[in-house]
Structure 1
Amino acid sequence: MSITTLNAAVGQSAMESLLKQDAVRLQRDAQSMQVGLGDNPAMPGFEQMLRRVDDRDQAAAARMEAVERGESDDLVGAMLASQEASLSFSMLMQVRNKVAGAVDELIKLQL
């Protein structure tokens, strides 16, 4: 077996391992979103998603306020929390827009 073949095999094995780890992580995340999702069976994850986005926003606001008051010197952590909250909100808006677009398409269907 040549060195390049061996390197390719090792690289492929490492990549497969990383892909398996990602698949396990995604499956765990999906399962955690399904546990305790709320009382609305029609949209089981949406209420939970709204709560998570709101929680992130409130946590980021609290961290920024603590930095502004001088109670904390973790400006980087506060900025990261703020960006995470902003990204979560943007993702939520994109999901909402996709759902609204899908509903519009369903309404336009001729039966």
Structure 2
Amino acid sequence: MGTELAGLIKADLAALTNDANRLAIAPPADHSAPGTFNNSQGAFSFTQSMKDALASVDSEDRAAADRMAAVDAGKSDDLVGAMLASQQASLSFSMLMQVRNKVMGAVDDLLKLPV
């Protein structure tokens, strides 16, 4: 059991090392997505990325709410589409909360570092 686990760990480590080496020699990706880079300085903007993600989650939630309201009012028969939109908005919100939790955990770890 222990040798099998050690073998699996070594295989995973080798795969990660290969992926890291492949990324290290890969040409830089085009990061021209809106809001991910500051155009004036060419620097990454975490704040803008989070604002864009928050706006995206909010727009998905509003679209799902509009679709559900249309079904409730009898203006639309697309109950399946409304439910799918609602689930997609819920998953997007859950993902955003997980990112927030990871960032807050990282900030807490940084604050705990000795100066």
- 1:109 maps to 113
Structure with the larger helix share: 1
Matched, 1:53 2:52: no
The equivalent residue for 1:69 is 73
Distance 1:65 1:97 in 2: 31
Q: 2:35 touches 2:49 (CA, 8 Å); kept in 1? A: no
State whether residues 61 and 86 of structure 2, in contact with CA within 8 Å, keep that contact through their aligned partners in structure 1: yes
CA-based RMSD of the aligned residues comes to 2.4
| TM-score of the two chains, using structure 2 as the length reference | 0.63
Q: Deviations over 1:27-74 (max 9, x none)?
A: 78xx46x324598x4523000000000000000000000000000000
Q: How many angstroms does 1:75 deviate by?
A: 0.2
TM-score of the superposed pair, with normalisation by structure 1: 0.66
Q: Distance in 2 between matches of 1:64 and 1:84?
A: 13
Is 1:97 the counterpart of 2:101? The answer is yes
Letter in 2 for 1:35: P
Structure 2 regions of 5+ residues with no counterpart? 1-28, 39-44
Q: Number of residues paired by the alignment?
A: 82
Given that residues 38 and 47 in structure 1 are in contact (C-alpha distance below 8 angstroms), is that contact kept between their aligned partners in structure 2?
A: no
Deviation at 1:82, TM superposition (A): 0.1
Specify the SS of the correspondent of 1:56.
helix
In structure 1, what residue type is equivalent to 2:71? V
Kindly indicate whether the alpha-carbon contact (under 8 Å) linking 2:64 and 2:82 is maintained by their aligned counterparts in 1: yes
- Over the matched positions of the two proteins, sequence identity in percent amounts to 59
1:88 aligns with 2:92: yes
